[in-house]
Amino acid sequence: MTSLQRVKTIFGGLMMLLGAGLLVAYPVDGYQFIGFILSVVLLGAGIRSLVFYFTMARNMVGGRLILFQGIIALDLGMFAFTLQEVPPVYILLYLLIAHLFSGAVDVMRAMEARRIQSPWRLNLAYGIANILLAVACFFCFHNSTLLSYVYAAGLAYSALLRIAQAFRKTAIVYIP
Q: Which helix (H) or strand (E) holds 122?
A: helix 121-139
Cα–Cα distances in Å, from 8 out to 62, 66, 82, 103, 165?
26, 21, 29, 22, 12
End-to-end CA distance of the chain: 21
Boundaries of every domain in the chain:
3-167
* pLDDT tens, residue by residue, 21-80: 888 888 877 777 777 877 888 899 999 999 999 999 888 888 899 999 999 999 988 988
Q: pTM here?
A: 0.69
* pLDDT tens, residue by residue, 133-159: 888 878 777 777 777 787 788 788 889
Length of the chain equals 176
